Structure 1
Amino acid sequence: MITSALPPSREQSKDESITAWALAARGGDSDAVDLFVRALQRDVRHYVTFLGADPQSADDLTQDTFLRALGSLHRFEGRSSARTWLLSIARCAVIDSIRYSASRPRLSDTDDWESAAERTQARDLPGFDDGIALAELLDALPDDRREAFVLTQMVGLPYAEAALVSACPVGTVRSRVSRARTSLIEWLDDAERSAPVAAAA
């Protein structure tokens, strides 16, 4: 039986290119290193930001992820996509960062250091309030659901690759994303219902 081959999707083609760049970078091609980093920098930054790490340290974690990846690129064999491999490294970087932060004492010269930190943040940036609202909603999700939602809906990984990054079955990822969506929709509906009441008061 002859089956017609479907053309690869745009996302598959992009992942194949990124994986090819990673393999070429492993062989010492500096242009491929640059292409590899540029192609995945935004995805890694989104992932580490919404995985639960401190948003202020997202740039450092992104850089740490690429330093770790480039240091171990000689072991990358292309059995999974380079994006999946890199996001697994990013996940480890976030976990290590959280463990490191938890083991250090927090110093502050004020009792309400969180409010003091919030007051120093710029608030007049376009989309600032929407970004804060999204971050707060995502923070309210359980860690496993937030990770699955961010990987599939924000970073754009297929469910199978998100399962590899999260080290769980594909069905579990699908269930977590579905539950995250349901919670987010309910919270948004609740916020919209209470907003007119607050405005009228």
Structure 2
Amino acid sequence: MLTPVLSSTRDTSKDESITAWALAARSGDPHAVDLFVRALHRDVRRYVTFLGADPQSAEDLTQDTFLRALGSLHRFEGRSSARTWLLSIARRAVIDSIRYSSSRPRLSDTDDWQGAAERTQSRDLPGFDDGVALAELLDALPDDRRQAFVLTQLVGLPYAEAAGVSDCPVGTVRSRVARARTSLIEWLDEAERRTAAPVAA
């Protein structure tokens, strides 16, 4: 059974510190670069994964995001939080990756590529089944609702920052999250009813 994911209230001073590290990194401070990357690495990886990156390419996209960000730090002026700025870059990195992948032919030396991919995945990790179930449910959501839900409920961004990353009004993000929650709850209830039905019969 999946545990509902609740939005966590992040410490504003932490975001201010991260933004200060980004500004210091812009000036060439290597310690600030290290602090900036360490503070946001997990959020970026989680975000690119739920935007549709497969687990194998998620780390590559995370690194690509930081490479793009560090190359653009001279343009970062701190008008928004560094987290919002970085997640916007991550979003563009995922979009570019999808465009690039869709323009290339896919090669496989086996007819059962899906089975081969599934056999390489580790299944004895704690919470693996719940994680797969959540990923499948999120994949079923329309892209805009999935992005709003992931940004606010999994990454923990406030709605205003999620709106900045998504380039849409705050009210739109709230609506998308509400609709995503409604769909996820309905699908979970339906799955539980299907699981319970054979027992009752």
Structure 2 spans left out of the alignment, 5+ residues: 1-8
1:167 equivalent to 2:167? Answer yes
Report the CA distance between 1:11 and its aligned residue.
Answer: 2.2
Q: Which amino acid aligns with 1:194?
A: R
Report the CA distance between 1:66 and its aligned residue.
Answer: 0.3
Q: For residues 185-200 of structure 1, what are the structure 2 equivalents within 5 Å?
A: 185-198=185-198
Secondary structure of 2:22's aligned partner: helix
Cα deviations across residues 5-35 of structure 1 (Å, max 9, x unaligned)?
xxxx852111111000000110111111111
Relative contact order higher in (CA < 8 Å, ≥ 6 apart): 2
1:157 equivalent to 2:161? Answer no
Q: TM-score, normalised by structure 2?
A: 0.92
Structure 1 spans left out of the alignment, 5+ residues: 1-8
**Between the two proteins, what is the percent identity of the paired residues?**
86
Counterparts in 2 of 1:70 and 1:199: CA distance versus 1, 3 Å: farther
Q: For residues 79-158 of structure 1, what are the structure 2 equivalents within 5 Å?
A: 79-158=79-158
Report the CA distance between 1:195 and its aligned residue.
Answer: 0.7
1:78 equivalent to 2:78? Answer yes
Q: TM-score, normalised by structure 1?
A: 0.92
**Greater C-alpha radius of gyration:** 1
Aligned twin of 1:32: 32
- Preserved contact between residue 52 and residue 143 of structure 1 (Cα < 8 Å): no
TM-align CA RMSD: 1.3
Cα deviations across residues 148-171 of structure 1 (Å, max 9, x unaligned)?
000000101111110110011111
**In 2, Cα distance between the equivalents of 1:182 and 1:108?**
39
Cα deviations across residues 74-114 of structure 1 (Å, max 9, x unaligned)?
11000110000000000000001000110110011222211
Report the CA distance between 1:200 and its aligned residue.
Answer: 6.2
